[in-house]
Amino acid sequence: MPVGDESRLDLIYNRLVDIVGDEHVLTGGLDKTIYSIGRNWLARTWVAQGLTLPEADFIVQPGSEREIAEILRLANRERIPVIPFGGLSSGMGGTLPVYGGILLDTKRLDRVRGVSEKSLLVRVEAGVNCWKLEDELNRLGYTSGHLPASFFCSTIGGFIACRGAGRLSTKYGKMEDMILGLRVVLPTGEVLETRAVPGHATGPDLNQLFIGSEGALGVVTEAVMKIHPMPEERRFRGVIFPDLHSGLEAMRKIMREDVVPCMARLYDEEETATRVKDAWGVRERGAFLVMGFDGSKRIVDVEEEIALEICDGEGGRDLGREPGEYWWEHKYDDYYPTLKSVREYKALLGGRQAGATTDTCATYDTIEEIYHEMKRVFMEKYGEKYNGWFYGHFSHWYKNGVMLYPRWHLYDPPGGRELTRLYWKVWGDLVRVALRHGGVLNHHHGIGRILGDYMPEQYGEGFEVLKRIKRVLDPNGIMNPGVLGLN
């Protein structure tokens, strides 16, 4: 659905300028390129290979919900794709404007509109940066409980679009658990507002229709989110298990006891021996668990005691507070490239190597099997041939299951077009392992344009339901075409 010839582009440009003002319509070639690059592997590899990136025709920065509604009405009338855009942190290509159109940058909707200390809620616009929101709440003695790796660059709207998760999601939940109400501009320009209540029995929850919709069903402009008093106590603990299985068993039993750590990250033996050792100096062999508890001191005392008892019963050895406290203090440091690590980044994002994270979620019945099979498939088919590694950790825990965060890397893959072909193949093979065992395509990044083709395999007949919903809400198919496998 290309936008069309230059005179039509000019007409649309002038209408957009009428709506948002000329300083908020970016048309520079470099702006368009940069908005497409981001930091996702695919776009950076294309740049390294000298390929032309897909680019938006216009980058528009509306300053209000009213302006967004006008833009969507224009786009719907003119049949122009609209790609809602947040902080450019997606690794899944969810905002790559592969069909051109209007890239709708929501970051000027940047107000924290109000806090209810009584009901523990904050009303926040979609373009508010996660760090800025947390900073505003911390001043008042509250926290959103949402501390993702992309804390400093991502937006609340982006997280809603991708059903995002933060480091403390085991206790505070993912985005779908944090939202009470939404305002959404529909593709045809109407504004929908859901009622911000803790619960109801009046039909399906429309919030959940839009959370995770990756901009395919409308533009989220505002959300009512839960907040929490800053905990009186936040305490961490490191435990080393003889192997991954015993660590998984311990955490399953901890969750079963209704002990809810604010965070728990269990690393497999390989990641413990490499990344954990390098980053935090933990030299023990086995599977390393770092867990934290927060809340009132009395509750934290009890939770920590029970959790450590269970760990002990599964062969876990308490390493004390230091490893966990170190992790908390330095939880973002690992992401800053250094003179050493930048060499790897240059190769990985410079068209010479391949790597990704194929995170999934499944119940305790199957998650261990998924982990082992993913690892086996990767190493047998790719790792040994192209000099690769595979490791993983488990870091978002539920009573019924857990998220697996496997990471893989190939040091010596073929170059050129074969590289991206290989990338797709690895993704395909690994997500199919998850799907075969009842897991999902993704747990906390969204699926963007990389995994859309697998949606029918996860959803079955449910995918037809999604397609019908899309057709009703977005009859002209203007909203972020291509994401979620919805064209």
Contact positions vs another protein (CB under 8 A): 26, 28-31, 34-35, 37, 39, 47-48, 50, 61, 87-89, 105, 107-108, 110, 127, 129, 131-132, 135, 139, 149-150, 152-153, 332-333, 335-339, 342, 345-346, 349
Distance set, CA 213 to CA 219, 290, 308 (Å):
10, 32, 39
Q: How far is the CB of 417 from another protein (least distance, A)?
A: 18
CB of 255 to another protein, least distance (A): 30
Nearest to 482 by CA among 106, 214, 150: 214
Residue number, 83 or 259, with CB nearest to another protein: 83
223-242: string of b/e by CB count within 10 Å (b at 16+)? bbbbbbeebeebbbbbbbbe
Nearest-angstrom CA–CA distance, 205 and 199: 9
Helix (H, G, I), strand (E, B) or coil at 419: helix
Toward another protein, which CB reaches closer, 34 or 469?
34
Check if the beta carbon of residue 26 is closer than 8 Å to that of residue 68: no
Q: Min. distance of Cβ 445 from another protein in angstroms?
A: 13
CB-wise, 42 or 473, nearer to another protein? 42
Q: Which is nearer to another protein, 24 or 228 (CB)?
A: 24
- Closer residue to another protein, CB minimum distance, 261 or 448: 448
Smaller CB separation from another protein, 61 or 272? 61
DSSP state of 193: E
> In whole angstroms, how close is the CB of 123 to another protein at the nearest point?
18
Q: Whose Cβ is closer to another protein: residue 155's or residue 395's?
A: 155
Can you tell me the distance from the alpha carbon of 89 to that of 38, in angstroms, rounded to the nearest whole number? 7
The nearest distance, CB 125 to another protein, in angstroms, is 12
- Residue 195 or residue 343: which is nearer to another protein going by CB? 343
Give min distance, CB of 94 to another protein, in A.
Answer: 15
Provide, rounded to whole angstroms, the least separation between the CB of residue 101 and another protein: 17
3-state secondary structure of 480: coil
Distance CA 424, CA 407 (A): 15
Q: Give least dist CB 461 to another protein, A.
A: 38
The 8 Å CB, 24+ separation contacts for 300-303 are 300/231, 300/233, 300/234, 300/235, 303/259, 303/260, 303/261
Beta strands in 4-149 (DSSP E): 25-26, 58-60, 82-85, 102-105, 112-116, 121-125, 142-143
